[in-house]
């Protein structure tokens, strides 16, 4: 295994550079990047970072930005001062908690806001951070970077000295190797392939990986509860379902791909038909659509399920919404079928989910079930899958505990201090 000095020197010999996007710095050699970051230190809950994150959150909540990019509103809510305080208060006070050190974040290219949640919690814990933002990142990532620069102008200089957002091409493996050799924790978001590729680069002996690989999610709706719900409630759930599924073209790990209907067959058929009408109306009102290439992708995927005997029928509501009736609940697809494509299956009871769940299943959005039923299901699953059970409309709401991992805890170390 190469040590940190050897790998960094190799990167420097290769002339490896990265594009620093925050703070603005242009092209910088990897060795210089790491040197600047090591020159400053923070503490857990550092007030200078808290003030910076809160100011950034207020900017994200400005109506103009939130209207253009609704996902920024959720991010701004997450960064409210009260939420930051709640995160810090949740940490154990039995030991002295200190930052873990230098954290390398490698977020996915298809969900622009994920890197902020990961980075913000790590910065709040007092870490020095490097975020590798893909050169293919979308317009939302650009908006976020611009806002960070605006807030930085009023922040304590230590924030700019300890936090870096950079870009470099995936083919520059010497950069990934050098950064990996220098970090104390490596956070990898993305598919299984990304995790395998990044893990080829050694970490220092004391460091480790925190990985978020391929995941899939689903929704569960009690048919009788839907049919009995007032119209306003059904409209709200339909709007929440559209937010869950469409904000990131259904590619987010927590976006539902299958809807399980629980109850008698007649009730499930009626509830599903009414639910589909409500979702379709929300899509029409918002003017949501998909391009021709995506429409073709959806038809190939859905008809492929039918050809394989996994689907009984396929229904299209324009290009934006495709519904697949599964031949059996066990045939629920985990792979992405195209934006706005949902498989449907019926269950007689919530307990019938237990043998169907797989370890890759992350978020279960729900409607019509009480907390005791959900807790009983969680115990029945016994860790075989499902890390989050949240109401429909909350699939994309980030929480400090993600994929069953308490991120603030992972981003810190405990020092035991025993008084004589």
CA distance linking residue 139 with residue 152, whole number of Å = 20
pLDDT digit string, tens, across residues 380-403: 998 889 999 999 999 988 888 988
Q: How many residues does the chain have?
A: 420
Confidence at residue 226, expressed as pLDDT on a 0 to 100 scale: 98
Q: What is the pLDDT of residue 179?
A: 96
Cis peptide leading into residue 36 (ω within 30°): no
pLDDT tens-digit series, residues 103-130: 999 998 777 788 899 999 999 999 999 9
Q: ∠ CA 68-70-75 to the nearest 5 degrees?
A: 125
- Contact 319/343 with Cβ under 8 angstroms? no
- Which pLDDT belongs to residue 283? 94
Q: What pLDDT, on a 0 to 100 scale, did the predictor assign at position 5? A: 43
Domain boundary assignment for the chain: 4-214+403-415, 216-401
Domain formed by 216-401, architecture:
3-Layer(aba) Sandwich (3.40)
* Predicted pLDDT at 131: 96
Give the residues of the chain that fall short of pLDDT 50. 1-13
Q: Please name the CATH architecture into which domain 4-214+403-415 falls.
A: 3-Layer(aba) Sandwich (3.40)
What is the model's pLDDT at position 177? 95
Distance of alpha carbon 316 from alpha carbon 320, whole angstroms: 8
| pLDDT at res. 181 | 96
Strand 17-22 to strand 163-167: parallel, antiparallel, or no bridges (unpaired)?
antiparallel
Residue 386, CB half-sphere, CA atoms under 13 Å: how many? Answer: 22
Nearest to 200 by CA among 170, 164, 232: 170
What gap in Å lies between CA 332 and CA 35, rounded to an integer?
49
Q: How many CB atoms lie within 10 A of CB 95?
A: 13
Name which of 115, 118, 104, 110 is nearest 136 in CA terms. Answer: 110
């Amino acid at each position: 295994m190469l040590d940190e000095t050897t790998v960094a020197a190799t990167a420097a010999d290769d002339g490896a550079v990265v594009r620093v996007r925050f703070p603005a710095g242009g092209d910088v050699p990897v060795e210089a990047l790491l040197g600047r970051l090591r020159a400053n230190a923070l503490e857990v809950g550092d007030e200078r970072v808290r003030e910076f994150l809160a100011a950034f959150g207020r900017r994200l909540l400005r109506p103009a930005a939130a209207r253009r990019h609704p996902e920024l509103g959720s991010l701004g809510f997450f960064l409210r001062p009260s939420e930051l305080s709640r995160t810090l208060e949740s940490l154990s006070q039995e030991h002295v908690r200190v930052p873990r050190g230098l954290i390398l974040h490698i977020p996915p290219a298809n969900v622009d806001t994920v890197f902020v949640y990961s980075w913000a919690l790590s910065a709040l814990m007092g870490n020095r951070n490097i975020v590798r933002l893909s050169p293919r990142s979308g317009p939302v990532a650009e908006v976020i970077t611009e806002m960070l620069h605006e807030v930085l102008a009023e922040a304590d200089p230590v924030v700019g000295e300890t936090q870096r957002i950079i870009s470099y091409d995936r083919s520059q493996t010497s950069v990934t190797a050098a950064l990996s050799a220098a970090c104390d924790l490596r956070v990898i978001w993305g598919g299984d392939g990304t995790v395998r590729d990044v893990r080829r680069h050694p970490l220092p002996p004391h460091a480790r990986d925190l990985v978020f690989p391929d995941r899939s999610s689903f929704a569960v709706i009690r048919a009788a509860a839907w049919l009995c719900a007032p119209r306003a409630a059904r409209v709200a759930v339909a709007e929440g379902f559209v937010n869950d599924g469409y904000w990131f073209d259904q590619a987010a790990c927590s976006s539902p791909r299958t809807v399980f209907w629980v109850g008698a067959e007649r009730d499930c058929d009626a509830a599903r038909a009414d639910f589909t009408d409500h979702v379709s109306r929300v899509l029409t009102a918002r003017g949501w659509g998909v391009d021709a290439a995506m429409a073709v992708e959806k038809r190939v995927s859905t008809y492929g399920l039918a050809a394989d005997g996994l689907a009984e029928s396929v229904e299209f509501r324009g290009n934006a919404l495709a519904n697949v009736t599964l031949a059996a609940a066990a045939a629920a697809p985990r792979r992405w079928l195209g934006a706005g494509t949902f498989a449907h299956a019926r269950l007689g009871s919530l307990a019938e989910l237990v043998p169907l769940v797989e370890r890759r299943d992350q978020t279960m959005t729900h409607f019509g079930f009480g907390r005791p039923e959900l807790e009983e299901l969680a115990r029945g699953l016994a860790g075989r899958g499902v890390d989050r059970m949240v109401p429909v409309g909350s699939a994309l709401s980030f929480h400090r505990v993600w994929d069953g991992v308490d991120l603030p805890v992972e981003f810190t170390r405990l020092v035991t201090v025993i008084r004589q």
